[in-house]
Structure 1
């Protein structure tokens, strides 16, 4: 009697954020160059996964990631649009999974139908929200004036902010900028940009302690940036404040612009997070 080929159905157990088991990875030949640390995560939306019309929706989109030994703060909370360090649980223990946008692949539903998700991995609701926001951010990034971006790089302020925030990745969830009070002008060399920085943080279990830590970090970021900015014709730091996610109204958020630490994903340090083999 011939074996019956598993069929994809609307009752599929697969959901966004699920992890492929070792047998599925081997059968589909999905391997990171850091083979022993490979972690392949499903990123297709649940509605697309439930679609059993394989002519209309034949594939499941995944990212070939890897488990990393420590979280880089500049890759947490979706701060960088190209690389994400996503907290997950494996057999009850917290770990970080590194996902890189260039490591996306398509897998046929018919090929995945015979496998179950790896039950050892668990992604909670907050983590799933971070994953979804990060996936959409690549196509929904704010545009800053080219002159401003060049000055941020030239003065080293981008790296200063990233370096200061990196050890506090779990504390700060978003970094917002206001430039010239909300204007987006290409300024001549003789005119400085006025920059206000807003560090947004989740209040956590002890809101008062978290607020104190965030305020202290905001003061340190401002002082560090000002020390670096010897040429006041480039950028002037007007303020750097910390604000709780619970205290950031929609009206305020609308006039702020999300700054993503993209340069951190472009540096060459001999450890290429996008290195995979298939």
Structure 2
């Protein structure tokens, strides 16, 4: 027996058209804010000469981590500059930092809300499952429809793709706080805000930072995909190298992305360790 096909695609397109028609001012405002954030971060990263910024990042890596991380930062960033990808890398880094900041600012409060309300957790969890399992390319279609081509839809797609770990691990970290400590805080008359900021968040911070680390890595993994819709940076060179079968250029651009990924990963991993030591 043949059942008629559900017009799911038509429903999605109709919803997209309705949102585009009725919420255009909201999308324009979001585009302006995100564009300003990316532009500001990029301007800050490119304001100093490359060598000066490399030395600053190296010193920061030494302060946060160990001398090995600082040495890797120095050699890796000098290699990026030598290959001619410095400005493009800063454009990609601006996109990654913007997407990561938005993911953290949005994701941590949602994770806190899920940890305090089981019903909210049950509603949010399937949405996060959908966001993590849907192919990242699919996010580009509505992002382009709502925000046109450029860096902004790339940031939006990156946020959708990267935000689930922050929400999940914030929720998990707070729920793993020992019940005895929570009961002791209640017994001493702590308000919910005091209990959250002075007890639960400090204890859950290692788990939350693990989620933040994963969010940053996922944002960086979207650099190449975002270049398909007009986002500039190293990802655009990788995409052009693939379409033109230029293995050498693609490898050089890929090395720049790998160096940024390793450096961001090591810095975020050691950032909380520095605070607790």
Provide the TM-score with structure 2 as the length reference: 0.23
Q: Greater share of strand residues, 1 or 2?
A: 1
State TM-score, norm by structure 1: 0.23
Of structures 1 and 2, the one scoring higher in RCO (CA 8 A, sep 6+) is 2
More helix by share: 2
